[in-house]
Structure 1
Amino acid sequence: MIPDLDSQIGILVYSTKFPGIGGKIRVEPEDFQVSELISEKSKKSIGDEHGYAVYKLKKKKIDTNHALSGIFRQKGIRLKSLGLKDASAVTEQFVCSGNKGKPIENFSSDKYSLEHLGFVKKPLSKKDMVGNHFKLKISDCQNKLESFTEYEKILNFYGYQRFGSKRPVTHHIGKAILQQDFVKTVDLILSFTSSYDSKENTEIRQKLSDKANYQQYFDQVPIQMDIERIVLKEMIEHGEPIRAIRAIPVSLRRFYIQAYQSFIFNQSLSAAFLEGEDLFEAQTGDVCFDNHGIIGKYVKGMDQNLALPFVGYSYYKKTRFDFQISKVLQQEEISPKDFFIKEMQEASSEGGFRQAAIQCSDYSAHGDVVEFSLSRGSFATILLREIMKPQDPMIAGF
């Protein structure tokens, strides 16, 4: 049985026949350890010469953005990360200064530490990151972890985090923006509730479902609901939904659109698998990524990984998956051209491609601990979902 939460985010299948070991993840922050991997070339480019300072950021119980904001407040230095790491894990990642100059000294606080590694001639970017290594403990599982061997045959779904985890709403917000229904967008941000959310959050959201309550309950909206407060403030002051949405940082508005694209991708991948398409071997006419992440047509004998379209306004129809993708778009009453948003062009998305299967390496399992490396953009929770087959992903710590 596929959990209801999985269906809500477009994941309608399991890739493996493994029965699942149950259990829980993230009982302690140390149970979920993530280390960022950069290319050998990028590693060798870090030297002692002056340039842009590179640091190793180690953190726990705080996400990357909040850690970098804290470092800026304490040390006055702006650092950029190659990828985002969430709060419910112990993580290590590379961060880089955007300006040349003297590095700051190593320091640590209760939630994060910064270690200077050297300098690079040009700042590190997302392109330098090749993946992540995970070391994960599964508590209270039936001890058959070693018998899971199907890690090379797992579909590359977008994981729960992409959709808001406990409150899977981001893709709904994205769809409402695409439909240029900004009244609905505001309503979803402020009042969409989930059975996994806290009682307090649900209560305040229920009150905010009525516009007449905006002013009265503004001060009761918790500080951590920062986006909700931005939108509410604009609605109270101006009452214009599009203006309220525009007040949200553009990176987050783009993220909402990407979440909806991710939902379409998950549904299309599920449908292709259910209809018997081979998603683990590329065929003539397929679009693939090579080992350097460069996209091109399938070439026999070359080491390539099958890719599926990630729908946007430049959607490429000529793949064997157009049948499934077009059906999903029809059901959703959305077309590729909708991803060009006339009223909010800065959030438009042309789309692209994504690998169909997870590329997993360095896999090992012993007792209740599993370790593996995944290429950039793949979710460890999707591999864990196949190992654990949780009845309720949120209760299991996902």
Structure 2
Amino acid sequence: MRVEDIKIVPIGYFKTKLSPYYLLGNSFKIVVRAISYTKAVIRQRIENVVKEIKALGGVPNFFGHQRFGTIRPITHLVGKAIIRGDFRRAAMLFLAKSYPFEHPESRTAREELYRTQDFRKAMKAFPKHLYYERLMLKHLAKKPHDFKGAFKTLPIKLRILFPQAYQAYLFNKFLSRRIASGLPLNAVEAGDYIVKIEVTGLPSERFREIASREKLSEINSAIASGKMCLALPLAGFRQRLSEGFQGEIEKQILEEEGITLENFKVKGMPELSLKGGLRTALTALKDFKVEEISKDPFNPRKNMVKISFTLYRGSYATIFLRELMKPRNPIKAGF
């Protein structure tokens, strides 16, 4: 295998097929450049953020900005349209919704398609690098009303990303609204979901239940000792919402979105249906270390810092970096 800037080193043999199930987490080494603060201030600010995160019990386990598209955040919008069975809207969002930060040639082609709805003409205008859009356009040029068929020209691994992105968007809203409501992330209330934390540090796939009022003290003691964790639903046709106040938050958000859990059983394209599940509200920050604070050779009169850390699988390094860096412009920062 030859991929630029990637080196693969064999470490041994495995008896079964490798899958994400066997992944514990990901280790990161990050360089943050062009920092205006002094070395002492940089170190103090990092220490303050990490101390706050450790006191909370981890980083809020949001899905990262890139899950929805950084330059052109439409993945979850397409997913919502698919969930609602509106394949025409889904296709036009994917093909024709433009954003100011994408390449001008791409933006112009999308805007022209939005105005004309002419798929044959769009085939000539869309740049070659928009490979998947061109696959759909080729189908629509022949069958201009078959939007479902146009989506089926895309690989299943790409198509499933759309409803999964909307599922992630809903989770982020559940978590955001909980924080805004003043509910804790490192403790549970009656009606909240809890999951057991395995010795590996990963949440158990087997032990998940709703916290009862009678067991709150016992459960919160287990959370404080790292044996359990608050979890929130990943929406799906088999996943019940939380109960109690958190459940009311989730119901309100689904009502605002005009969505029911049954919608995740996608009619007309069942392979994109999502059963749902649970995701921990916090993710642990492991092995954090400030490797070096020094002058930035690429930015005169600025400093840089090298950090390293590990996150369990499924968690986003960019979420921690946002806590650390507080980027004012997510587009420019890339997260």
TM-score (norm 2): 0.81
Matched, 1:329 2:329: no
**Which residue of the partner structure matches residue 133 of structure 1?**
27
Is it true that 1:124 corresponds to 2:18 in the alignment?
Answer: yes
Aligned partners of 2:128, 2:6: CA distance in 1, in Å?
Answer: 22
Match of residue 200 from structure 1: 105
Q: Which of 176, 183, 196 is the equivalent residue of 1:277?
A: 183
Q: How many residues align?
A: 292
AA in 1 matched with 2:187: E
Question: In 2, are the aligned partners of 1:159 and 1:381 still within 8 Å (CA)?
Answer: yes
The 1:175/1:285 distance shift into structure 2, 3 A limit, reads closer
Structure 2 residues without counterparts, runs of 5 or longer: 212-217, 294-304
Aligned equivalent of 1:369 = 306
Cα offset, 1:229, TM superposition: 1.0
| Aligned partner of 1:209 among 107, 114, 132 | 114
Could you tell me how far apart the structure 2 residues matched to 1:110 and 1:253 are? Answer: 26
State which of 306, 316, 323 in structure 1 corresponds to 2:230.
306
Listed one character per residue, the Cα deviations across residues 293-333 of structure 1 (whole Å, up to 9, x for unaligned) are 21423663541121111111123134342111111111111
Task: Please list the CA deviations of residues 120-165 of structure 1 after superposition, one character each: whole Å capped at 9, or x if unmatched.
Answer: 1112211110111111111112434422322333311111110011
Q: Which has the higher contact order (CA 8 A, sep 6+)?
A: 2
Q: Does 1:190 align with 2:92?
A: no
| Aligned residue runs from structure 1 range 1-398, under 5 A | 71=1, 110-143=4-37, 144-146=41-43, 147=45, 148-149=49-50, 150-152=52-54, 153=56, 154-239=59-144, 240-283=146-189, 286-292=192-198, 293-294=203-204, 295-297=207-209, 300=219, 301-302=221-222, 303-320=227-244, 321-365=246-290, 366-367=292-293, 368-398=305-335
Cα contact 2:105–2:127 (8 A) shared by 1: no
Please report how far the alpha carbon of residue 117 of structure 1 lies from its aligned counterpart in structure 2 after TM superposition. Answer: 2.5
Residue 9 (structure 1) aligns with: none
Tell me what 1:68 maps to: none
Instruction: Give the residue type in structure 2 aligned to 1:220.
Output: A
Tell me if the contact between 1:178 and 1:339 (Cα under 8 Å) persists in the aligned partners: yes
SS at match of 2:33: coil
With over 3 angstroms needed to count, the CA separation of the structure-2 counterparts of 1:285 and 1:335, relative to structure 1, is closer
Query: TM-score, normalised on structure 1?
Result: 0.69
Distance apart, 1:113 and its partner CA: 3.4
**C-alpha offsets along residues 324-367 of structure 1, whole Å, 9 cap, x if unaligned?**
11111111111111111121111011111111012111112242
- Shift of the 198–126 alpha-carbon distance from structure 1 to 2, 3 Å rule, reads same
Residues 265 and 310, structure 1, Cα contact 8 Å, conserved in 2: yes
Give the aligned residue type for 1:112: I
- 2:122–2:137: 8 Å Cα contact kept in structure 1? no
Deviation, structure 1 residue 109: 6.0
CA gap 1:285/1:190 in 2 versus in 1, 3 angstroms: closer
Report the residue type matching 1:151 in the other structure.
Answer: I
Kept in 1: contact 2:232–2:242 (CA 8 A): no
Higher helix fraction (1 or 2): 2
Q: For residue 244 of structure 1, report the CA deviation from its aligned partner.
A: 0.6
Measure the CA separation in 2 of the matches of 1:218 and 1:378.
Answer: 38
Q: 1:109 to 1:166 in 2, by over 3 A?
A: closer
Q: Which whole-Å CA distance do the structure 1 matches of 2:110 and 2:186 have between them?
A: 43
Alignment partner of 1:373: what SS?
Answer: strand
Post-superposition Cα deviations, 1:164-218, rounded to whole Å, max 9, x if no partner, equal 1110000000011111111111110111111221212111111121455321231
Checking the alignment, whether the CA contact within 8 Å between 1:145 and 1:387 is kept in structure 2 is: no
Residue-by-residue CA offset, 1:209-251 (whole Å, 9 max, x unaligned): 1455321231332233122011101101222111111222222
Paired amino acid for 1:198: H
| Counterpart amino acid of residue 326 in structure 1 | K
1:376 is displaced (CA, Å) by 0.8
Question: Percent of aligned positions with the same letter in both sequences?
Answer: 30
